[in-house]
Amino acid sequence: MPLLLDAERITALYRRHAQRLLVFFQRRVQDPELAVDLVADTFETVVARRAQFRGETEEELSGWLWRIALSALASAQVREQRASDHARDGIRVPRALTDAELDRVEELAGTLTLRTAVTEGLGDLPEDTRAAVRMHVVEGLSYATIAERLGIRQDAARARVMRAMRQLHRRVGPAFDAWREDR
């Protein structure tokens, strides 16, 4: 017999999963306001489609919730892509989160700690090496283009980026491993 999705069960479902959903969304969209909106969208869909749920266990209910969450994420990504493709903004008008709420979402997702570790690691690199990493990782430039811009040989550009990435991995690796374990 399917579980009855009454207000009490939906409230319990929210209490069990809302924070994990928020972290899940934040780590994927890197936008706390959108992450909060996606949690709300997910539970709005749960309420709207509660009569469609046919599962008999809490595990099936959790699986159903996460499928809805994945669908909400996919829909948001499509909306964002369309807005970008058409150079339009205003697809969604999110409620502005307070600074404390923004900080809390980043704290839950662990992105602030990770971002701080990366920033500090990059700060330890010499300026020319930091520039090479930025060009390769952020701008997606080839080693040939990096070499041309920096006035060095292509193999030197590659070596510079590889050495820097190893150094960053040593510096940021523990923070990244801890972040990944929390996923």
CA distance 105 to 103: 6
Render pLDDT for 23-53 as a digit per residue (tens, 0 to 9).
888 888 888 888 899 999 999 999 999 999 9
Number of helical (H) and strand (E) elements in the chain, helices listed first: 8, 0
- pLDDT grade, residue 179 (50/70/90)? low
CA distance 176 to 3: 39
| pTM of the predicted model as reported, rounded to 2 decimal places | 0.53
Eight-class DSSP state of 126? -
Taking the domains of the chain in order of start, what are their residue ranges? 7-97, 110-181
Render pLDDT for 9-29 as a digit per residue (tens, 0 to 9).
999 999 999 999 998 888 888
Could you tell me the two tokens for 82?
A: 């369309």
Q: Helix axis angle, 32-48 relative to 99-109, nearest 10°? A: 80
Which residues have a Cβ under 8 Å from the Cβ of 182 and sit 6 or more positions away? 23, 110
The pLDDT assigned to 122 comes to: 84
Task: Report the CATH architecture of 7-97.
Answer: Orthogonal Bundle (1.10)
* Residue range 110-181 in CATH 1.10.10.10: yes
Render pLDDT for 94-129 as a digit per residue (tens, 0 to 9).
567 787 887 777 777 767 677 777 788 888 888 888
- pLDDT grade, residue 65 (50/70/90)? very high
